[in-house]
Amino acid sequence: MQAKPLQTDKHITLKPGTEKQQQQPPSTKTDRNWVQTAKTILRLLPIWATLLTFAVIFQQPATFFTKQGMTMSRTIGTGKTKFMIPPATLQSSITVSIILLMPLYDKLLIPFARLITRSEKGISVTQRMGIGMFLSIVAMVIAALVEEKRLEKSRGAKTGEVVEMNIFWLLPQYILLGISDIFTVVGMQEFFYGEVPVKMRTLGIALYTSVFGVGSFMSALLICLVEVSTRWRNEESWFSDDMREARLDKYYWLLAILSSGSLVLYLVLCKFFYSGSRSGDEVEMEVVESGRSSSTGCT
C-alpha cells in the first residue's frame, strides 16, 4: 500500500483579534501603558494630596520637638547617679510605642472593631488611615498646649536658662505620633498597593514613599512662608532662636488646622470616590491568584 504523503500546507486558524494584535506597532502598546499609568495616578492623586499634611506633621519630632526639649529640664537621678537625657532620645519613644502597641492592634482592636462593624476585616484601609490622621491632629493640639505651658514657665528666665519643666511633658505627643503611624503609614501601604493594577504594584509603592518625600519639602516651604509672614512687621519670628520669644505653639496650632482641613477633604473623597477600597487580605489574595494564573499560562 502507498503511504499518504505528509500534509505540509495545513490551514492554520488564528484566534479572533490575534492578527490585529500582530499588526499593531510596539509604540501603540507602550502608549496604552502610559495612558493607563496616567489614569491610575490621576485617580489616586486627590487622596495622595490629603496625606501630605500628615507627612509634614511627622517632620516635627526631629526638628521642633527636639528644640523644645533642649530648653527643658533633662536631668534624672541624684548625686553620682545623676545624668542628663539628650533631647533627641525621645524620638525613640515613637518606635517603642509602635513595637508595643502593634500586637494590641491585631489582638484587641481588630476583634473589637469586628463586633461593632460586623465586618470580617474590622475596619477598612481608608478608615485606618483616617484614624491615624485624626491622632496626628490630637498630637499637634497637645504639642501646642505643652508649648504654651513651657512659654509660661519661661517668663522672666534668662536667655539659655533651663525651664523648670520636665522634658517628659513631651512624651504624649511622641507616643500619639507613634500610634498614628500604626494606623496611617501601614494603611497607606495597603491602600496604594491595592488600588493599582497587579502589573503596576511598583507604582503603588512609589506613591506611598513619595508622600513623605514631598511632605518633607512642604514642611521646609511652610517654615519659610511662616518665617517671612511673621517678620514683616519687624517682630520676632515664630521660630526665633530665643525660645522665650519663639511661638512654636502657634505653629502647632496652624498644623492642626491645616491637617483638620485635609482630614475633612479626605473623608469626603473616601465617602464618594473610594468607598470600595480593598483590605490588605483582598490585595494579597489578588496577588496570589494572579501568580497562579500566570504560572498556568506558562504551562
Q: Nearest Cα to 227, choosing from 241, 244, 206, 209?
A: 241
SS (H, E, C) 10-61: CCCCCCCCHHHHHHCCHHHHHHHHHHHHHHHHHHHHHHHHHCHHHHHHCCCC
Q: Which three cell numbers stand for residue 87?
A: 533631647
Ranges of residues in the chain with a pLDDT under 50 are 1, 5-12, 14-15, 18-21, 279-299
Residue 239 falls inside a structural domain: yes
pLDDT at position 296 is: 39
Range of the domain at 272: 49-74+86-276
Q: Nearest Cα to 146, choosing from 71, 213, 202?
A: 71
Residue 1 falls inside a structural domain: no
Residue 184 falls inside a structural domain: yes
Q: How many CB atoms lie within 10 A of CB 125?
A: 26
pLDDT at position 287 is: 40
Angle, to 10 degrees, between the axis of helix 186-195 and the axis of helix 26-50? 150
pTM over 0.85, yes/no: no
Q: What is the DSSP string of 188-213?
A: HHHHHHHHS-GGGHHHHHHHHHHHHH
Paired residues of 75 in beta bridges: 84
> Any idea of the CA torsion for 128, 268, 253, 179, to the nearest 10 degrees?
0
Q: Nearest Cα to 92, choosing from 122, 69, 115, 109?
A: 69
Q: What CATH number is attached to the domain comprising 61?
A: 1.20.1250.20
DSSP state of 76: E
pLDDT at position 29 is: 59
144-198 pLDDT, tens digit each: 999 999 988 887 766 667 888 889 999 999 999 999 999 998 889 888 888 877 7
Residue 20 falls inside a structural domain: no
pLDDT at position 288 is: 40
Helices (H), ranges, 74-170: 92-104, 110-117, 125-153
pLDDT at position 25 is: 58
- Where do we find the cell 508622600? 211
Residue 70 falls inside a structural domain: yes
276-294 pLDDT, tens digit each: 555 444 444 444 444 444 3
Residue 15 falls inside a structural domain: no
Residue 283 falls inside a structural domain: no
Structural domain total, the chain:
1
Residue 233 falls inside a structural domain: yes
